[in-house]
Amino acid sequence: MPESFNEQFTAKLEAHYGPWEKMTSRFGNAPFGEIAKDLSISASQFTKLIYGSATEGMYIRSIRNIERLMELQQALDERDTALTKWTTAQAQAQQLQARQRSARNKIILFSLLALLTGALGAYTYTRNQDQLNTLSQHPLSLYFDQGFDADFDSPYLKESEVQDYCPCSAYEGSWSLSEEYKLPLPGNRKPGVYYLAKSADVRMKCSKSDTLNLGRGRVLIGFEYLINEVWVDTKQTPLSPTYFDKDNKTYTPEFMALTFADNPQFKRVATIHSFFIDKFEIHPDSIVRRGEPCGRFATDVDEQLVARYEIDLKHVLENVLGDLTQADCEAAPNPFCDPNDLTEKVSVINFDCLYTIKTENLGIGGGYPYRKGFRLEKQNYSDNLTCDCE
């Protein structure tokens, strides 16, 4: 990382907040945590930026955010100056009983306030939209999703290669989470914390190198971007027996019918963004998935709920959800032995899994069951493939 990015970042911080007080971890009177919130980044990201271990893109985005904050502060200062001048003018006008001039000044003030309000609203809207757009799209979208006539090198197979790498060439493209699923999150101080899988945006491509064991065309790589949520039961109801039958190791009908967003007893604590690299082994009768995490972070954190219900969100991210990646999943039946049977918006691959946790003895002699399914959204190549089903 060029030293100039780190220097530019700290210089911008000092220009906006004040001198860097290294002994107290402040810039001026602003602590690191407050600045991180201003920049809409996590404390760990801010630490990387300060000490020179962030990526170039992180520096560029954060420097731009500081500049926007400076522009906003300048606009507020100009507004305050205008308000002060107008107040003085109004007092003088009242003394001189110049009602007409006072009325004109009021019109000018209201116009100025309207312009400033509009400018601030537009700035806030643009900033929020930029952040939402950045967080909602697949991190590798630019590499996978450009038009066929764009100047880029697609990671998908070329048309001249698809027959050689059949059947996995038929799986290449965009996939999604087929349906939401929910899980209890053990390992917290108190009961009532839950995980809700909301969406998965997956790009799948054939592996050209991992072919020694299964042969060419049998290994598929998935780049999986997930958006999930953490919810808390405000009544902190024990999981068993209301929501889980320990004897049968199954969820109760009450849990299966539970929709967190429609039940005021449950509150959303945070949104979790995760990235995985998946490896799918395609056999004629089954598909095996193995996932490896590439990091996760939380946004929209409700700090009041975190404090009130003593939720260690960092522990949830690093350990509880970390153990979720080690879930024991069965091989999925392969209904697409003939890859030409794959159909956009219809074809689904389901994996039945059991979730356990290393740091907490669940005490049920097993794990919590769940099903994770992937739906084919957009197929890269859908013309006739000639590989034999067997």
User: What phi, psi does 292 have (nearest 5°)?
Assistant: -130, 125
**Region for residue 249 given its phi and psi (left: phi exceeds 0; alpha: psi -120 to 50; beta: otherwise):** left
381 C-beta neighbours (distance < 10 Å), count:
20
**Region for residue 25 given its phi and psi (left: phi exceeds 0; alpha: psi -120 to 50; beta: otherwise):** left
Token pair 């290294």 is found at 22
DSSP E strands, the chain: 20-21, 26-27, 30-31, 173-177, 181-184, 193-206, 219-233, 244-245, 250-251, 266-282, 286-299, 328-329, 332-333, 348-355, 368-379
How many residues are recorded in the chain?
390
| CA–CA gap between residue 208 and residue 218 (Å, rounded) | 10
Taking Cα atoms as reference points, which of 157, 219, 152, 223 lies closest to residue 382?
157
What is the pLDDT at residue 358? 63
What is the pLDDT at residue 124? 41
**230: buried, middle or exposed (CB in 10 Å: 19+, 13-18, 0-12)?**
buried
Q: Are 236 and 192 in contact (CB under 8 A)?
A: yes
| CA–CA gap between residue 348 and residue 341 (Å, rounded) | 11
What is the pLDDT at residue 103? 52
For 74-88, letters b (16+ CB in 10 Å) and e give eeeeebeeeeeebee
- The string of pLDDT tens digits covering residues 70-110 is 888 887 888 878 777 777 767 776 777 656 565 555 544 44
Q: Could you say which residues of the chain have pLDDT below 50?
A: 1-2, 107-133, 359
| DSSP track, 194-227 | EEEEEEEEEEEEE-SS--TTT-TT-EEEEEEEEE
- How far is CA 165 from each of CA 11, 335, 376, 381, rounded to the nearest angstrom? 53, 19, 19, 12
Domain boundaries, the chain: 3-136, 143-379
What is the DSSP secondary structure assignment for residue 381, as one 8-state letter? -
Rg (CA), the chain: 27
What is the pLDDT at residue 162? 94
